[in-house]
Amino acid sequence: MPSEPPPILLEPLIREKPWGGDWLSKRLGKPVMIGGRAGESWEAASVAGVSNPIREGPGAGGTLEALLREDGPAIIGREGPSLPLLFKYIHARDHLSVQVHPDSEIARRHTGRPEGKTEAWRILAAEEGATARLGLDSRSDRGAFQRALDEGRAEDCLVRHTARPGDTYLIPAGCIHAIGGGVLIAEIQEASDITYRFADWGRLPDSSADSRPIDLEKAFESARLDLAGPFSWTPAEVTTQGAVRRERFVSDAFIFEALDGDGEIEVERPGGFEIISVAGGETLIRSGGGEASLRLGETALLPKGKTPLILRMRGALVLRSYLPTA
């Protein structure tokens, strides 16, 4: 294997959800799910035994987990089968549950694994009037929220944001939130699938392939009721190269970039692995290990390296995610 391995093209993992729909196939070219309730497409993941198949590149024909177990230091710069970030697309035809994700300390206490979850959303498409609810409003304390839960109106206590394409939100661990119906989202997150629900819009616990328990004790323990926002994520840097606009968002958990336009650009690499996904158009990516063409909805894991990344974009929206430090 060369000093900088070539890009690794990943197959998506489509997950049925009771709130899912058909935008993942109609808007991103994902496989059609019978019943039309495709809620999530896991694009780059290796966590808790769930791992993407590899279509091209190192480990082709196997899984990302198997590749990282065998050659993790060369691919992502660390031992073990887990990828520390997870990238997915979400279509919410209906509302998601009112939920919270624990931080690493609370996750360790309940699961034995320090898998806290800070996440970020990029709104890709939204129906008129679609919303996202983030954090308790200033009039609500724990008592008011508990009363709202008892009365079946938990969403009334959350701050409502109108979902608009191009908006980006950072949701720290401990933030109570709910994605509204009628949105298509790209999500980058710390690698965890731990969710504690406050309420689920009256859906039955076993109404889908996923068990959907309500666990108020763990949810309240995980929630940071003092988080007041704003949760809109402002880019730390906005630059333009030719006809390509680049937004760079920075957090302690990950760095997220949105590159939009036409033409060829060159960007520096931080040295670690990157997740690159095409949410619009198509692009060719080229770095020290080689090149790959990505069409709408396709995702690649770019192994660690410092050779600058070249993107040849054709009407593309490219989403780029990586750790803050190599």
Residue 128 is encoded by which pair of tokens? 């008129």
197 catalytic per annotation? yes
Q: From residue 69, give the alpha-carbon distance in Å to each of 58, 109, 222, 274, 321.
A: 13, 26, 31, 18, 22
Q: Check: CB of residue 267 under 8 Å from CB of residue 246.
A: yes
Burial of 287 (0-12, 13-18, 19+ CB in 10 A): buried
Among 126, 107, 9, 98, which Cα is nearest to 59's? 9
158-162 own/partner pairs: CB under 8 Å, 24+ apart: 158/98, 158/133, 158/134, 159/133, 159/134, 159/135, 159/229, 160/131, 160/132, 160/133, 161/131, 161/132, 161/133, 161/134, 161/231, 161/232, 162/129, 162/130, 162/131
CA distance 184 to 135: 20
Exposed e or buried b for every residue in 63-101, given b needs 16+ CB within 10 A?
A: bbbbbbbebbebbbbeeebbbbbbbbbbbbbbbbbbbbb
Q: How many CB atoms lie within 10 A of CB 207?
A: 12
Determine which one of 15, 37, 197, 246 is catalytic. Answer: 197
CA distance 12 to 53: 8
Residues designated catalytic: 197
